[in-house]
Structure 1
Amino acid sequence: MFEILTVCTGNICRSPLAQLLLATRLADLGVHVRSAGTHGMHQAAMPVEAQAIAKALGVDPDAAAAHRSRMLAEADMTTPDLIFAMARDHRREIVELAPSRMRAAFTVREFARLAADISDDDLHRAADAAGADASARVRAAAALVASHRGLTPPPADPSEDDVVDPYGRSWETYEQSALELVPALDVVERVLRAALV
């Protein structure tokens, strides 16, 4: 068993979508995925637009309908092996709350950018060095990805490491947000499968 935490502002659009997609895609690997918001609403549902996108991407509609937002707390960050923020501001708040988790916390698009040039063989070797425990293997893969900070060129526009917030905006913005999130989650899945399978 290993654990992932996804974080956005309100915990109603981006982070629950990431949570539900990761839980769906990685169910066979024994993952536990949670989400929270840095300035979250209390017990708010996902907007219908976010639920529609989740359903279109293969998430169980009942799971999307059941989501209720919650606030991020320092205690949330003690156990996750990976923490995926949806934007740089969220990652900054995560690190301020739990400085010891800096190497485990990424924006999801930053993680994808850093991992792009890391081979599956290198990920598997790093995980093998950590032993058989799934959590230790994921943390080793995350450390390898984190080690590429400063080596991998940053994006020309720093906002390219963020997933756009669609809340209260047009349907097209919800689609754009998903188009930014899903390719990053494809890389997350590749990294985790290389580390664990």
Structure 2
Amino acid sequence: MPLVHRFSVPVFFRLFPTPCSWHVDRLELFVCTGNISRSPMAEILTPHIFNEPSLEFSSAGTHGLHDYAISREAERLLQRSHISQMTVDAFRSRRLTADIAAAVA
């Protein structure tokens, strides 16, 4: 089972303040409880930090609400980070399943 790090978005940007480029072919999964705030923000923001097409990012929630939009608070934070409204609107939450976890193992 992959190690899951828990940190807020501002801490994430302090850890990785500039875009990075690594050549790795893999899927990174961000997990939180409901999949409407923390993990979706990580899924949406991370590709802008790690400018590497061979990395793919996804998210799910341990108690995820199925097919919900991102929370208003997360939406506001993403807008302040200059993420397009279309990207925010396209996100739909999902619950963590064994199949999802197996995809990143």
Same fold (TM over 0.5): yes
- Kept in 2, the 8 Å contact 1:24–1:59? The answer is no
Partner of 1:8: 32
Give the whole-Å Cα distance in 1 for the aligned partners of 2:49 and 2:82.
9
Instruction: For residue 4 of structure 1, give the secondary structure of its aligned residue in structure 2.
Output: strand
Partner of 1:83: none
1:57 aligns with 2:100: no
- Kept in 2, the 8 Å contact 1:43–1:68? The answer is yes
Match of 1:43 among 64, 67, 72: 67
Q: Which has the higher contact order (CA 8 A, sep 6+)?
A: 2
Partner of 2:55: 31
Structure 2 residue runs of 5 or longer lacking an equivalent are 1-24
Partner of 1:20: 44
Q: 1:51 is matched by which residue type in structure 2?
A: E
Give the whole-Å Cα distance in 2 for the aligned partners of 1:6 and 1:71.
12
Q: Deviations over 1:164-184 (max 9, x none)?
A: xxxxxxxxxxxxxxxxxxxxx
Q: 1:21 to 1:67 in 2, by over 3 A?
A: same
**Aligned-residue CA RMSD in angstroms?**
1.6
Q: Deviations over 1:46-79 (max 9, x none)?
A: 1222111012123232111211110000111223
Q: Deviations over 1:5-62 (max 9, x none)?
A: 0011110000000111112222434211110011111100012221110121232321
Structure 1 residue runs of 5 or longer lacking an equivalent are 81-100, 102-197
Q: 1:2 is matched by which residue type in structure 2?
A: R
Instruction: For residue 52 of structure 2, give the secondary structure of its aligned residue in structure 1.
Output: helix
Q: What is the aligned residue count?
A: 81
- Kept in 2, the 8 Å contact 1:11–1:35? The answer is yes
Using the aligned pairs only, state the percent identity: 33
Q: 2:48 is matched by which residue type in structure 1?
A: T
Task: Please say which structure displays the higher CA radius of gyration.
Answer: 1
1:78 aligns with 2:102: yes
